[in-house]
């Protein structure tokens, strides 16, 4: 159950005509049922006809729309406190040809509320005996909301290793069913939900969300971060600055890097020593002495 949600939406009933009446009096509704979005404007139309009895001219016709209760306890919408602020009706001029008179009327209900869900009937009267007629059973109006809930899920969730299979699914409470648009880092994707990565890659890492839309509204989901970790972790590389020979009393910085995704944690050791020298990607040694000389190495550890 359009894109502009409730604001400014106008629903016209263009369904197969529904005829109510007998051979002499008749009301033809443009539809017997209509579903509209809360907050929108709906237009319900009908035509009516009756015999042109010359002896009762002038044929002054009074028209009104009725709802609430049954046909024996109708309510004039334009004079009812629950409706008169957001209801208006308009009727065309009555025309009589070949002993029949015809008229048209339209009821517009603005800023629809859930309480407006009801059966609406058109009634007209004229100055002659038994000159009143109400078209039954009328038009059933159902007021609903657009999508109110939408979510996107990843299976599996959390850190996902490169090469594994991942499915992103999107769901909503849209009625009728919604059409979905997927986004990665706010860029639209040509996907249909659910979407499966048979073998996820590091470049698939990013923020995903979906957008649900039907003719009665639209809604965007929460965002989910697809964290793809590298399936193969290569040996970290070590560099030294400044390079070349190092003079006693100077400083030197050792740097460690790896292809870990997400970023690794680094620990520095000196060869033949068990104690940790430094934590972090860089290890700076100041005031170099001969005792500090030797082979240094780093260990990287990535958490999936």
> Rounded to whole angstroms, how far apart are CA atoms 11 and 36?
7
Residue 47 has a pLDDT of 93
Three-state secondary structure call for residue 54: helix
Residue 229 has a pLDDT of 74
Residue 83 has a pLDDT of 82
Domain boundaries of the chain, sorted by first residue: 10-144, 150-229, 237-301
- Tally Cβ neighbours within 10 Å of residue 255: 17
Residue 232 has a pLDDT of 53
Average pLDDT, the chain: 78
150-229 has which fold? Answer: Immunoglobulin-like (2.60.40)
Q: Which residues, 6+ apart, have CB-to-CB distance to 245 below 8 Å? A: none
Question: With a cut of 70, which residues of the chain have pLDDT below it?
Answer: 1-23, 54-59, 68-73, 128-130, 146-147, 158-159, 230-235, 259-262, 272, 274, 302-304
Residue 57 has a pLDDT of 56
Q: What's the start-to-end Cα distance of the chain, in Å? A: 43
Q: What CATH architecture is 10-144?
A: Sandwich (2.60)
Q: Which CATH number describes the domain made up of 237-301?
A: 2.60.40.10
Residue 18 has a pLDDT of 42
């Amino acid at each position: 159950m359009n894109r502009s949600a409730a604001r400014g939406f106008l629903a016209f009933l263009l369904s197969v005509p529904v005829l109510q009446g007998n051979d002499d009096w008749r009301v033809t509704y443009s539809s017997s049922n209509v579903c509209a979005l809360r907050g929108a404007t709906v237009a319900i139309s009908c035509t009516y006809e009756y015999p042109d009895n010359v002896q009762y001219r002038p044929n002054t016709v009074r028209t009104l729309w009725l709802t609430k209760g049954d046909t024996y306890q109708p309510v004039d919408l334009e004079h009812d406190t629950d409706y008169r602020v957001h209801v208006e009706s308009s009727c065309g001029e009555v025309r009589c040809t070949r002993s029949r008179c015809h008229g048209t009327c339209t009821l517009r209900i603005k800023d629809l509320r859930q309480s407006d869900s009801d059966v609406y009937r058109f009634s007209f009267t004229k100055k002659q005996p038994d000159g009143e007629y109400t078209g039954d059973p009328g038009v059933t109006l159902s007021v609903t909301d657009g999508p109110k809930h939408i979510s996107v899920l990843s299976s599996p969730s959390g850190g996902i290793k490169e090469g594994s299979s991942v499915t992103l699914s999107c769901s909503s409470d849209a009625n009728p069913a919604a059409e979905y648009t997927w986004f990665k880092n706010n860029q639209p994707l040509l996907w249909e939900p659910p979407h499966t990565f048979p073998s996820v890659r590091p470049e698939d890492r990013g923020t995903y969300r979906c957008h649900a839309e039907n003719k009665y509204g639209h809604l965007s989901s929460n965002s989910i971060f697809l964290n793809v970790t590298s399936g193969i972790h290569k040996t970290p590389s070590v560099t030294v600055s400044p390079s070349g020979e190092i003079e006693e009393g100077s400083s030197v910085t050792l740097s460690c890097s790896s292809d870990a995704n997400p970023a690794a944690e680094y620990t520095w050791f000196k060869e033949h020593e068990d104690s940790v020298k430094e934590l972090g990607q860089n290890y700076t040694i100041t005031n170099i002495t001969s005792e500090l000389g030797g082979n240094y190495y780093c260990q990287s550890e990535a958490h999936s």
